[in-house]
A and B are shown apart, each in its own frame.
Chain A
Amino acid sequence: AQSVTQPDIHITVSEGASLELRCNYSYGATPYLFWYVQSPGQGLQLLLKYFSGDTLVQGIKGFEAEFKRSQSSFNLRKPSVHWSDAAEYFCAVSRGNAGNMLTFGGGTRLMVKP
């Protein structure tokens, strides 16, 4: 069965600092991978996704993620964090076709210090 692990429950960074959120997955086939952000009172918003091709994917809001098959990882990065990035971030893997049947990681809550 597929699973997604986000090792860091909470992360605090200073505004302007770089950010990396970790995500490890377990899935037998080629994974379809996603990062979503959840802000209070708002629905989950898709930041980026990886289906195939270039292993470094660019997303919205200046985020990027790199798929590393050898490490079963899909870490999310941002070079300079803004206070508005404070939110809950979820990594997910699809166990169906493309965006179907998502399994989510436990989430990482990001706090940004001024």
Chain B
Amino acid sequence: GAVVSQHPSWVICKSGTSVKIECRSLDFQATTMFWYRQFPKQSLMLMATSNEGSKATYEQGVEKDKFLINHASLTLSTLTVTSAHPEDSSFYICSAMTENQETQYFGPGTRLLVL
């Protein structure tokens, strides 16, 4: 149980375009989902906390207008990288929290390359 999927697993796009990444909790309902960014050989950095039905809470330094987060249902959160630039190339990972709020379950990640 507690499986989280992400789609797509990798994406290549041109500079200036927007990219949407989906995060789904497959076998449980997640009122809270998180989005992380991981640079090569580095740790995960929390970008934002997403609560179902409300606006996401962004970490300091993360541009909310660039990284749009929508959490429209208890099993789906989306991250849209708007007007992507090469410096946005990274590995984006989502996680979903169980109802008891004790454990985050992570998706496999999405590798984004902006040309």
Contacts and interface: CB of A to CB of B under 8 A. Distances in A.
B87 interface: no
Interface in A22-71: 36, 41-46, 49, 51
B59 to A, nearest CB: 9
Contacts of A46: 103-105
A104 B105 CA distance: 14
Given A41-B108, A43-B4, A102 B101 contact: no
Q: Is the interface of A mostly helix, strand, loop or mixed?
A: loop
Contacts of A84: none
Interface string B41-61: 011111001000000000000
Interface string B88-115: 0000010101101111111111000000
A5 B97 CA distance: 24
A74 interface: no
B43 A102 contact: no
A77 B64 CA distance: 40
Interface residues of B, number: 24
B95 to A, nearest CB: 8
Nearest to B100: A98
B3 to A, nearest CB: 9
Interface residues of A, number: 21
B75 interface: no
Contact of A106 (B34, B43, B46, B109): B43
A7 interface: no
Interface of B: 4, 6, 32, 34, 42-46, 49, 93, 95, 97-98, 100-109
